[in-house]
Structure 1
Amino acid sequence: MNVTFSLLAKNVTKTAFRNSSYSCKVLVVGGGTGGCATAAKLSRILKKNELIIIEPSDKHYYQPLFTLVGGGISTLSEAGKSMRDVLPANAVWLKDSAAEFNPGENSVTTQRGHSIKYEYLLIATGLQTDYDKIPGLEAGLSGDTGVCSNYSAKYVELTYKALKNFESGNAIFTYPNTPVKCPGAPQKICYITDHYLRKVGKRDKAAVIYNTSLPVIFGVKKYADALWEICAERQIQVNLRTNLVEVRPDSREAVFQNLDNPDKMTTLKYSMLHVTPPMSTPAALQNCSELTNEAGFVDVNKLTLQSVRFANVFAIGDCSSTPNSKTAAAAAAQCQVVFKNMESVMKNTPATANYDGYASCPLVTGYDRCILAEFDYNLTPLETFPFNQGKELKSMYLMKKMLMPPLYWTLMLNGFWNGPAAVRNLLHLKFSQK
């Protein structure tokens, strides 16, 4: 069935027709960081009608900025742009979401009933935030109860409100018992809160508590050691293997389970409760066992990012099974690998480009300081700069606040930024790593 498309800003073609059939050379499912950046690269080697992007949202958010929005440093409007302004011009945008993957038939069915046949598929759906999985959490987020979360554009502005309203009591921060995007973010807001309360003279009236389901404060020992020192110095209580299972907003109580002793439950009163919700891949992926592993993540070769079962399918970013920290920086490093390997497969040559697991987490530890954690699959530091990044530095904070957002909008989403590997190689030709 032929469909007439309407032209929007940046010449991005969008359609919302129902029950239509399409075919394309490359289908990209997801217009987040990885999907958008890789689509931009693909758009330069494909004709417009050869590339279709499925993305339901009208807004694209630079989610790493949500930490600063929650701390009152940046605004939500600074973190978002119109989706049509960030998707590549030389592509067709289908404003929809995937409902069913049929990799054996090289097709995807959408929520609106579209059927799309493809030659090659890039899955970039990201993770969904499952606020409903914790009883009482959505009720807490819908009222003036001190509950907040930086993981949603809908809720992120509640965090600074909770900060300003805090007078005394427990300020609790949580990390769930699931994989999450930007795993450093749950504790970044903890450090920002500590700094905020010191600035306004309320820190002596507060108990700052970080409850994480993980057995470590951070996966890379070098940075974990630095964070433990910060917590000790600032009297931040850290409880490992402690998972939020219920919120009672009426009584301002949070219930936690000890994951090493599941029968042990602890109920804490809170004045401020910042929740990182459980996360998962979208249902359409979870329901497609041909593409995914038991956890619902797209089962790919961790080096080539190619599906282990379908040679014409790739995945990028948070929805893939790669065992790296799920960050925007990881997607940047993966982007060039995915593009090169998809291009190779299109030419009937082997996919040989490899991803080393690079991820970066700017661990903001206050309103003017940051530890820039960078590491690979082996959790070995892979630092860009020729100095010790395991220390709190103002320069790294300014880079996080001032440099990274424009780099993201102008280079990353347009397919021109593949992570700092080239910069790192250049710098370390002149300086030795310390």
Structure 2
Amino acid sequence: MINTNSEKINEILSRGVEDIFEKDSLEKKLKSGKQLRVKFGIDPTSPDLHLGHSIPLRKLKQFQDLGHKVVLLIGDFTATIGDPTGTGKGLTRSVLTEEQVKKNMKDYMKQISKILDIKEESTFETRYNTEWFGKMTMRDFYSLARIEYVSQLMARSMFRERREKEKLEKKDLLTLSEFTYPLLQAYDSVMVEADVEIGGLDQIFNMLNGRKIQEKLGQKPQDVIALKLLIGLDGVNKMSKSLGNQIVLDDSSSDIYGKIMSIPDNLIFEYLELLANISIEEVKKIPNPRDQKAVLAKEIVKIYHGKKEAQKAEDEFNKTFRDKEMPTDIPVFETDKKTYPILDLLFDSGLAESKNDAKRVIKGGGVELESDTVTDWRKEIEIEDDTTIRFGKRKFIKIKKK
């Protein structure tokens, strides 16, 4: 039974949406009572999904809640080619091996199930594009390539920018495989018979190409929902693992809470619109940005970890940062060493992502040993039981001697 509630349809068409092609057509379909096939494609280029990925997944959940069929398209084949979209600065995206792709997508379903009901077969379907591309012959590919025009691909701003960069640097940057990527993504829509495709604003060209290829191959063109992109923790760039400005869906409740509390104030309402279920107007009534962020952080933790963990994360954050107390549960790092170079200790214990990261944070005054600020990155630490180290604002360890 398809739900045609007008308020819920309006939320699908508005919250977090940048543009729709064609809006009148999609609205009519949603009111028709017919089950729609709603496609979202994702290439497993990384093992972790972050809050930026949650935006299309949450939009899919809105369709699923109305009874429509979500078609999750895992681009296990196209990930080995590389989507040129979003590489930025005219760079070529790294190409992954089949082994890397398999490793990356190993835990995808566990992460996706935090948002979508993946067990309900009537409203959820998973497809992998190796199903058709893995069997495609060269003859099949050239037959498909005949319906795509180079002039239309070159009209895409991203490809134009890459060509300009090639001219300036006098070297080749744009590969033929990347040039065919929009065609392959479009053909995915044909193979899953998509009525609707959802994706980020940066995927508009590829999704509209899907409409065109569907028509040329005798299918009705999919409607397209282009969603707003999430700015990362740096407040400048799109959320991305490569930029280190992401919040991962599998992050702990305390990490999610703390990271949300660190976002610039000007992102509060954008995050509310894209990531939370609460009323933006209600949060606007709260005068203090710090308290607005606290409401947002608690709500997002609740979505991924539950109400109890959200309350615990809030209490721990307030205890550590407002009341200046130590967290209740501090991770333990065991060692049998008598002395430890501080950079090695910070890296080996998992506090720092690298020794350069450790050095940077020490220079910035962000490392404390038993409440004393560490200023010398060459320092040798004498290991004593129950010594506490703070790294940055949110990371702590307690040292235990083996």
TM-score (norm. length: structure 1): 0.29
- Higher-Rg member (1/2): 2
TM-score (norm. length: structure 2): 0.31
Tell which has more relative contact order, 1 or 2 (C-alpha 8 A, sep 6+). Answer: 1
Name the structure where helix makes up a greater proportion of residues: 2
Name the structure where strand makes up a greater proportion of residues: 1
